[in-house]
Amino acid sequence: MSKGQAFQPELLLPVGNTEAFYAALKGGADAIFLGLRNFNARNRASNFTPWQLSAIVKEAHQHKVKVYVTLNTVIRNLEINTLIDTLFILSQIKPDAVIVQDWGVVYLIRKFFPQLTIHASTQMANHNSIGANYSKKMGIERVVMARELTKPELEKIAKKSQVELELFIHGALCYSFSGMCLFSSFLGGASANRGQCTQPCRRNYTQSESENYFFSLKDNQLIEHLPFLEQLKIDSFKVEGRIKSAEYVYQVATAYRTALDYPEKREEAQLQLKTDLGRDKTDYFYGNKIKDAITQASNTGLFLGLVSNLEDKSIQFTSKIGLPESCRLRFRSKENDQQVVLKVNEMIRDENNYTFESNNQSIQIGDEVYLAGLRMKFPTKLNTNGIDLHERCPMNKQKSIKAKISHRLQKGKTEIYLRIDSLAWMRKIRIEDYDAVLLQLSKSELAEFNPKLPFIQKNKNKIHVELPRFIPEGDLEFYRNTIQRIYSAGLTHFFLSHLSQKDFLPRGAQFSTNENVYAFNDAAVQLLKEEGARKHIYPLENDIVNMSKGTDHNGIVPVYFFPYLFYSRMPVQANKDEYFVDKMGEKFRKIVKDGITIVLPEHPVSLTQYKSKLERYGYQRFLIDMSTTAPSKNTPRTIVRKFKASEQIQPASNFNFKRELK
226, 356: one domain: no
Looking up residue 100, the CATH number of its domain turns out to be 3.20.20.70
pLDDT at residue 605, rounded to an integer = 98
- Mean of the per-residue pLDDT values of the chain: 94
List, for residues 194-242, the tens digit of each pLDDT value. 999 999 999 999 999 899 999 999 999 999 999 999 999 999 999 999 9
Q: Are residues 482 and 420 in the same domain?
A: yes
Question: Strand (E) positions, 281-425?
Answer: 281-282, 302-311, 314-318, 327-332, 339-344, 348-350, 353-357, 368-374, 415-420
In this prediction, residue 42 carries a pLDDT of 64
Instruction: DSSP letter for 517, please.
Output: S
Last residue of a domain, one of 263, 292, 321: 292
The answer to whether residue 189 sits within a structural domain is no
Residues 26-65: b if buried by 16+ CB within 10 A, e if exposed: bbbbbbbbbbbeebbbbbebbbbebbbbbbbbbbbeeeeb
In a domain, 204, yes or no: no
H or E element in which residue 472 lies: none
**Total domains in the fold of the chain:** 3
Task: Check residue 353 and report its DSSP letter.
Answer: E
**What element of type H or E holds 425?**
none
pLDDT in tens, 371-387: 887 778 899 999 999 99
234 in any annotated domain: yes
What does the alpha-carbon distance between residue 636 and residue 638 come to, in Å, rounded to a whole number? Answer: 5
Q: Is residue 401 part of a domain?
A: no
pLDDT for position 299: 72
Give per-residue pLDDT as tens, 448-496: 999 999 999 999 999 999 999 999 999 999 999 999 999 999 999 999 9
Residues 369 and 500 in one domain: no
Helix axis angle, 151-160 relative to 129-137, nearest 10°? 30
Q: Residue 85 is part of which domain span?
A: 10-173+217-292
Environment class of 346 (CB within 10 Å of its CB; exposed 0-12, middle 13-18, buried 19+): exposed
**DSSP summary character for residue 534:** E
CB 389 within 8 A of CB 93: yes
Instruction: Assign 578 a pLDDT band (cuts: 50, 70, 90).
Output: very high
**Predicted pLDDT of residue 323:** 83
pLDDT at 45: 64
Q: Which helix (H) or strand (E) holds 582?
A: none
Q: For residue 147, give every residue at least 6 positions away whose Cβ sits within 8 Å of its Cβ, in sequence order, or none.
A: 122, 168, 173, 174, 178, 220, 284, 285
Q: What global pTM score does this model have?
A: 0.91
List of E strands, 145-256: 164-171, 205-207, 210-212, 219-221, 236-239
